[in-house]
Amino acid sequence: MMKYSMTGAVLVAVLMTTAPAMAQDLDTMPPEELYEVAKTEGSVTVFSLSSRIARIETAFEAKYPGIDLIGLDITSTKQIARLEAEQRAEIYAVDVLYLSEAPVVLRDLLPNGMVTKYVPQRVADQVPAELQADLLTHRLSTRALMYNEAAYPNGTPIANLWQLTTDEWRGKVLMEDPSQRGEALDLLTEISLRNDEMAEAYEAQFGTPIIVDDDLEGAGEQFIRDLFNNDLVMVSSSSALRSAVGDINATDPSVGWTTYSAARDNEEEGWALQISNDTVPSAGILFPALLTIAKNAPNPAAARLLIDFMMGDDSPTGGPGFEPFYVQGDYAARRTIEDHPDAIPLEDLNLWTMDPAATGAARARVLDLILVLQ
């Protein structure tokens, strides 16, 4: 009995000391070898910011029989809260996180070892260095001002962001609640950091230099206050916002910030959504949607296999693994995958590229401002 116990203890010790090496071996395996290991695991669980994970589930299970993909559609804000709560309780149930809110992920999760970077070797040289430096970017997504092009066939009605603070647009600007939706908070935080551009746009709109309230730090924060004071409408879901803005039969529709990729559903939903790309100083933000492995992922081989699959194949559209995201408004991190033909080319997008570190540092102040304004 003593001999058995000693052997078990030694075995556990060996496994613990070799775990990092095993993870390193998985990192260098091609998909064919990962699949052989993943079949012994049998499943992979992913938290996903997008409901399109259901289509990935079907395609992944068709390519890799014997592995059950469990895809959970959860907002990035809720993913982060759930992961932190579970790991504090030493619960390790999720394998892969597909999420945005890079300012929080890179500030809180990555430094504390709660998530791990994995970049499939076969795509490493096809993803720009800045999109894999900390964690792997799957695609670049947007939070952009959208309008109804059926109601405004000659182009966007918003030439300047400051128009949204005027009586003409009172109660006609929509946004998901930034205290509940991190991408909306990131958008407002970016605006708060763009003081020079917002001040210049103010003077272009109103003909006089901006006067900033004494308790605010610049023109960006002044815009946020003026926008809320102009009866900004906060909605509970992205689908409600898109319907309100995009209804093809609307005669006097609102405008609102949502993902540019929502335009992919125009025909199916009866919408006429279009990005307000000509708005100065910017229509919104461009930000990374990240793929990362959770700490102590129960199915580490299947986790890597799924990330490899979602990065797409070598075709111009990325094949089944990327197909759900090959739409106008989503831009693959692998620049060998072409931009969708209906999309504005990435280099022509009038969007600010978010700096996760700067946004992460400023987020709390902007959230405090918003909570007071609400």
Task: Describe the crossing of helices 182-193 and 219-229 by its angle, rounded to 10 degrees.
Answer: 130
Matching fold, domains 19-140+287-344 and 142-286+352-373: yes
Residue 320, token pair as written in the block: 């089944």
Is CATH 3.40.190.10 the right assignment for the domain spanning 142-286+352-373?
Answer: yes
The pLDDT of residue 16: 39
* 3-state class percentages of the chain: helix first, strand second, coil last, to nearest 5: 45, 15, 35
3-class SS of residue 139 = strand
pLDDT of residue 22: 63
Tracing tokens 């792997």 back to the chain, one arrives at 136
User: Could you give the C-alpha distances from 225 to 195, 218, 374, in angstroms and in order?
Assistant: 14, 11, 10
Q: Among 153, 165, 150, 109, which Cα is nearest to 293's?
A: 109
What is the model's pLDDT at position 7?
A: 38
C-alpha gyration radius of the chain: 23
Structure tokens at 75: 């907002």
**Nearest residue to 306 (alpha-carbon basis) of 93, 98, 92, 28:** 98
Q: Sign of dihedral through CA atoms 212, 216, 220, 223?
A: negative
Burial class (CB in 10 A: 0-12, 13-18, 19+), 252: exposed
pLDDT digit string (tens) for the chain, length 374 residues: 333 333 333 333 333 334 554 666 999 999 999 999 999 999 999 999 999 999 999 999 999 999 999 999 999 999 999 999 999 999 999 999 999 999 999 999 999 999 999 999 999 999 999 999 999 999 999 999 999 999 999 999 999 999 999 999 999 999 999 999 999 999 999 999 999 999 999 999 999 999 999 999 999 999 999 999 999 999 988 999 999 999 999 999 999 999 999 999 999 999 999 999 999 999 999 999 999 999 999 999 999 999 999 999 999 999 999 999 999 999 999 999 999 999 999 999 999 999 999 999 999 999 999 999 98
Question: In angstroms, rounded to a whole number, what is the distance separating the alpha carbons of residues 75 and 97?
Answer: 11
Q: Which residue has the tokens 């804000």?
A: 77
Strands (E), 213-341: 233-235, 255-258, 273-275, 284-294, 331-332
CATH number of 19-140+287-344: 3.40.190.10
Residue type at 41? E
Q: What is the pLDDT of residue 20?
A: 53
- For residue 321 the two structure tokens come to 């693994």
For the chain, domain boundaries: 19-140+287-344, 142-286+352-373
pLDDT at residue 8, as a whole number: 37
Segments of 125-236 assigned E as strands = 136-148, 173-176, 233-235
d(CA 15, CA 161): 58
The verdict on pTM exceeding 0.85 is yes
How many CB atoms are located within 10 Å of the residue 105 CB?
A: 26
The residue type of 6 is M
